[in-house]
Every structure is written in C-alpha cells, then in structure tokens.
Structure 1
C-alpha cells in the first residue's frame, strides 16, 4: 500500500522545492479547498520555493488575475507560475506566427493569441492550424465531430494547449480540449501536446526553479495521467492528491471522507506509481 499523508506537515522538510498543481489541489474549479491557502503559507514560511504548474490554457498572468488571487492564495506564497497556455503561446510564437488559426472558443481566452500576428478564422478549412484551448463547460465531444472530421480531411495540425481530458468544476466533471485532441490523434491527425504530462513543461519549470537536485523536489497533483505520470517521467517524487478529480472513484463506500485502499490499487494499475498519497492539500 502506498503511504498516505494527511497533510504536509510530516513530509515538507524532506524537500526544498514544490511543484504544485492548481485545479484539484488548490481549488475545485469554483472555490479554494479548505486549508489550501494555509498550506501555501506553511511552505513559504519554511523557506520552500513553490511553483504552481497548471494545465490551464490561459496564460500565466491571467490565471493569477482570474483564479489564484480570487480564491485567496497570497502572491507571496509562490515564486513562480507556469501554465500550459503560456507554454503554448511561446510555441505558437516560434512555429505559427502570422498563420491562420481556428479555435473552439469565442472570447473566453482573450490573451491566448496576443502579439502572435495570427488571424482567427471561423471556417476550419481556411486554417493553417487548430489551437485547442478552451471549450464551454457544457460541451460534449459529439458537437465537435464535424469540425474535427473536416480538419482531418485537410490534414490541419492541432496544437493542444490543455492535455487534460476532464476538469473539475465544483462537484462535477466537464470535458476538456484534451479529449478532442486525443480523438484527433487516434484518427490520424497530427497533434502537438503542450503541458503535463509532457517533459518540456517540466524542464521549463525546473529551469524556473534554478535546476535544483531533483531529489529535493516534490510534485503534488490530482491526476494520475498528467500530474503523476509527468512528474514520474521528469524524475522527481510526486504525491497524488486523492481529493481531486479521482475522489469519487477512490472514496470508501463505508466510511465518510476516507479512501478505499483496494480502489487505489485498482486505479494505479497500469499507471505511473506515485511516491505516496495526499489526503488533501493542507498542513
């Protein structure tokens, strides 16, 4: 059985640097988890260097403005923030500047294409590439089938700025653009994946931290397929926060607010193995 940590107080002194997921660790898509701000303060007061690493398709500054600040996470409790949206923006600046782009959103990600010189088109057949970032919370995969089929026929490359398949929003889960990119790739389309679990974003985070010894880094995230897999490939320890998107499949049927070890064993089978489990991001 994997070790279970009921908070950070018993493990924090083993590490100097923390790579912390946002959705599913600090908040549930609507509000901060109880104790999350205190946990960030606890680590900062111990002199830990905290980096927030998110698969948000929004650029880093917008996540600070629209998410981190409003949920009450003090700015002085983390040194850096890096989002997949920021990494995707840098990728597009290098590889797609001046091209025509098709997106799945209207005006919900206003800074995603800033200063790239790209032109948004509303007929995918006119696009040089697709940028997958946001889809509406009520979106279903089927509604994009026609657009994706046309894009496949025209061999239009797909840049995925959020590899997550689903995202938590309060007590429910909603489709993410990673689901569309996965379908596109499985059907023969070319997809550039940007964000967790892929190595480049971890290397960038590592550089932002000053390239410390990886044995002194702890990653914390709630997704087996992005957070745990990505940190494992990168080569640092990782705690799987079980109170995030996997909670409903892991919780005990017999005791409130308790995980079922047998369900954990089933869940991790075939996935990268976390260093341990975290029962909520708190002190």
Structure 2
C-alpha cells in the first residue's frame, strides 16, 4: 500500500471533478486498458495508512484487523490516466451519500488518501471484433473514455453513457449521451441498437443495469467471453454492505466467463 497526495483539483461538470495525485511508486506502474485500483479514505481524525506490505493477502488482513473506527473507507476506482508518475482520477459527486464523493467534493491540494494497486494481474485486453460496444453510466465514463483513447480511428464502435442531464456531457467523441432528465435510461437505449453477434462488449455502472444488458447481448448471440462487465455500484447499498444474491450470481458469471 502507498499514500497519494492531491496535486490539483479540476471541476469537469456540476457532478464530476478531476483530481491528480503524486505518490511513491506511481512512476513504476505501467498502463493497460481499464486500469483499476482501491482508494482508501480516512475517517475523521484518522489516517489513510493501513500497511506497507505489497502482498494483497497480508495487506487486506491488516486492513480487516484495524478497529472499525480507525479503518479507512475503501472504494474501487478506475484510473483516468497514469502518465509520468501523475495519477488522474475522475470522481462523481453525489453529495454526502458516500465517503468517496464527500471527500472529493472537499478535496484540496495536499490532502492525502491511500491506494492499493493497480495491479497488472487484473489487466483485461480490449476485444478484437469488427464492432466494439461500450455502455455505462457516469461512474463508468472515466473507464470508457480511457478505453476509447486506445482505439484506432478506423475501429467501429458504439458508445452509450447515461448521465443526469446535458450539463454532464464531456468532450468524449462518439458518445451517445443518455439523459435521465429527458426520461431516457441506459438499458432501453442500448437494447434498441442494432448489434451483430460478432461484437465485443464492455459494460459498467449500476449492477442491475449491467446484468440486464449482459443478458441482452448474450440473447443476441454475443459470446459470453466477448462481454466484459462490472457492476460498479448497487442501488441503496454500498461496498461496505454484504453482497446480495444478485451480486454473488454476478461474481459467479465473471468467474465462469474467465474460464471459457
């Protein structure tokens, strides 16, 4: 585990802000598609540090062994960019409903949080189909934007991102923005699109929407091994809550997809 120090804060939209960080070890980390890591947010009056062990098992045991009132909140994030030892992460702001959002809304240069990862062991290569489909909500936008930057101009793609309203749109070419303020939703919009079975699909965002879209593409004949999916968040639940039956089913599906 290492610590990160905020070096800049840049509002992107009314509900998203971009933070850059520096910290030990960042310049030694490579880059790969959909780069994920754990961020640790200190509780009031506490520190973000957990353990200096680089081993995930030892580190996580040390994390669990901490008294609950000292244990930092841990959340998963996708790297927006990592270049020259500068880590960039985009945070969705939704008030004080969660520790990550509330921390990011108040973040200032010099603030410190913890990180574990990213690890190349979890790297997943981009698909090699004629058509690539990307779909998610605003929590998946940083990942989608970073993935699109890797594609050659000639690559056919369909990109759908659900956001609150037009004020949340960003300069990401080729996106079909799905506005909740206009009564639109991601699942209905994506399922109305014409997609051939020989397609590679990337899905991220609210867990039930991701599951519904995965079932849709499987039903169209897209191979399960060509669908990369992740439920980033759950309605009315946080990462601190116990997994639901649907969460466990999703985990089993991900394991099964990897073994195919």
The verdict on a shared fold, with TM-score over 0.5 as the criterion, is no
TM-score by length of 2: 0.33
Q: Pick the structure with more helix per residue.
A: 1
TM-score by length of 1: 0.31
